[in-house]
Amino acid sequence: MTHRTILATLLLASGVATCAAQENNPAFEARQAARAALGKLDWQISVAAYTFRKFTFFETVDKVAELGLDRIEGFSFQKISREIPVVLDPLTMSDEQFEEVLGKLRESRVTLIALYYGRFPADEAACRTVFEKSKRLGVKYFVSEPDPSLLRMLDKLGQQYGMIVGLHGHDKKSSPNTWHPALVAKQCQAYSSAVGAFSDTGHWIRSELDPAEGVSILKDRIVGFEIHDLNAFNASGRGVPLGSGVGNLPKMLETLAKVKAGPVLLSIECHSDPDNPLDGVKKSLEFLDAQAMRLAKLAP
């Protein structure tokens, strides 16, 4: 069985378990048709916790569940809760804090499917701790900008733990190795499918890179996206709900359905109202659901 098959099996199992757990959530039930379409495309939707960066992780988990979603992409520098004022970093959390996070996820019936972990330590033992504890929390994907010299080690650990390191980028200045999809595609070629592309469409748009073209470049090395829309196709662009900006996301998603057989994680990121992001996320979710149902009808 290949690594990709193993991961797909794990994702399917986690999805089935979470669906059963969420069956009494009205918002979750209202999305049945969309979930069927997403299943046909082999896409999953999560919310990037950075959307709720003015809130704690526990508050974000509650808001994600309220939306009828069961997956979240955490970020390692978000405060866990008002009562646990440390960040969501598996390497630095105490055992007691770790168990509190695990308990909150179980209680809320939300899976921490991805974790933004910007920089991995150079020490393999420390990296192994990050992988082990993250896997216990449910993480399947790391979203990261690791030092290129660490990729061979991270590839090995990803294969051992059945997890994926998704290469992420910001602008050219801050992410010289990963800002452009061609750079990410080239790096991925040297490694197994445990290393893939987890790009941010918002940063592509700010860098004047067309999201559909980026998808065409990365093709089957895509593992996920922080999917984000902006109101201008340059560095001045501000976040808006998905589908209402200049990113031409319907074309991007149509291209994705053509060039990449799943699984793919689409992590909603919406910065239109950082103090009260729920409405923007709802609109973004409605957009993704509608696109999935449209594209599933076109799929063979």
> Which two tokens mark 276?
């009260």
pLDDT of residue 28: 64
In tens, the pLDDT along 15-58 reads: 544 554 455 565 666 688 999 999 999 999 999 999 999 999 99
Of 39, 189, 27, the C-alpha closest to 110 is: 27
Rg (CA), the chain: 18
> Which two tokens mark 61?
């988990």
* Cα 87 to Cα 76: distance, rounded to the nearest angstrom: 6
> Which two tokens mark 253?
């998603």
In tens, the pLDDT along 233-268 reads: 999 999 999 999 999 999 999 999 999 878 999 999
The percent of residues in the chain predicted with pLDDT above 70, rounded, is 90
* Cα 39 to Cα 232: distance, rounded to the nearest angstrom: 32
> Which two tokens mark 122?
């150079």
Q: What is the pTM of this model?
A: 0.90
**SS3 at position 75:** strand
In tens, the pLDDT along 71-102 reads: 999 999 999 999 999 999 999 999 999 999 99
Instruction: Tell me how many domains the chain contains.
Output: 1
End-to-end CA separation in angstroms for the chain:
25
pLDDT of residue 141: 99
In tens, the pLDDT along 112-144 reads: 999 999 999 999 999 999 999 999 999 999 999
Q: Which of 9-13, 35-39, 145-149 has the lowest mean pLDDT?
A: 9-13
- Residue-number span of the structural domain to which 121 is assigned: 3-298
Q: What is the CATH number of the domain that holds 166?
A: 3.20.20.150
**Alpha-helical segments (H) within 42-196:** 57-66, 95-108, 124-136, 151-161, 181-188
